[in-house]
Amino acid sequence: MRMTTLLPLRTVAFADDTTVPAMGLGTWRMGETRPDAAREVAALVHGLDLRMTLIDTAEMYGDGGAEQIVAKALQGRRDEAFIVSKVYPHNAGAKSAPAACERSLKRLRTDRIDLYLLHWPGSIPLAETVEAFERLRDAGKIVRWGVSNFDTHAMRALEATKSGGHCATNQVLYNLSERGPEFDLLPWCTGRHMPVMAYSPVNQGALAKHRKLAALAAANGVTAAQLALAWTMRDPLVITIPKSSTLARVDENRRAAALVLTPDVTRQLDVLFPPPRGAAPLAML
């Protein structure tokens, strides 16, 4: 395993050939308290400076507060960034989705969202949501759309809807501790050349404190968090989106992009965190 200081970020391509960095910036739990706002904005600006130009947010995060943090970070730099936001399932209807999108656009202070996701499956029929997303795309409010927290069964149902094949991505909980998507979901997406976005790639910080993972990482001159992030990035179609609110952690995450896993380290990780042997319900936070 080797690591250099700051290699260019590998990119991942969507079906329309648009490329984004394989490591982006998460914002879950940002925008919740005013005293943290300046630090959170600074962290996102620093990530943008390091070419981590994909920023993931949602109307749910901080009740819209995270989108406002993103807007402040992107002031004067909107065209450098690829914005991902998400709509609540109960706001994903024919009339409610356009209204929710407008609210997100206002908070983000932008005229378009690069990737708009259904946050998780809900009670509104998928066909209705897809039609609403298609209309938003036709209107230029969003550039492309996708889903989040969809298992393989839900992805098949989505694909069966009219225009369901336009889905650009599926964002799921995926990390060393939660490897369930590897059994059938990742292969399903790979077969359609559909990138998967891995949220909580360090398992809300738990993997950074994992004793055995930390020991393996230290033996290779990196941190446990960096090893966990590099592991998610080993798949050419996976985009990892760690959330960091400090400049030092953003730097630490960014350096993980230069880490190359050897077969020996990969085998040791498989021992510590065994891959799935069968299908299981999709984990989510």
Domain boundaries, the chain: 11-272
Per-residue pLDDT for 5 more than 60?
Answer: no
| Mean pLDDT for the chain overall | 96
Across residues 243-260, what is the average pLDDT? 94
| Active-site residue, 61 included | yes
pLDDT of residue 268: 98
3-class secondary structure, 84: strand
Per-residue pLDDT for 34 more than 60?
Answer: yes
Per-residue pLDDT for 4 more than 60?
Answer: no
pLDDT of residue 88: 98
Taking a C-beta distance cutoff of 8 angstroms, is the pair 232, 174 a contact? yes
> From the candidates 61, 116, 174, 199, which is the catalytic residue?
61
| pLDDT one-digit tens code per residue, 176-195 | 999 999 999 999 999 999 99
| pLDDT one-digit tens code per residue, 216-242 | 999 999 999 999 999 999 999 999 999
Query: Position 112: which residue type?
Result: R
With bands split at pLDDT 50, 70 and 90, how would you rate the model's confidence at 6? low
Backbone region of residue 51 per phi and psi (left: phi > 0; alpha: psi in -120 to 50; beta: other values):
left
Q: Which residue's structure tokens are 């706001």?
A: 91
Q: Architecture of domain 11-272 in CATH?
A: Alpha-Beta Barrel (3.20)
Per-residue pLDDT for 126 more than 90?
Answer: yes
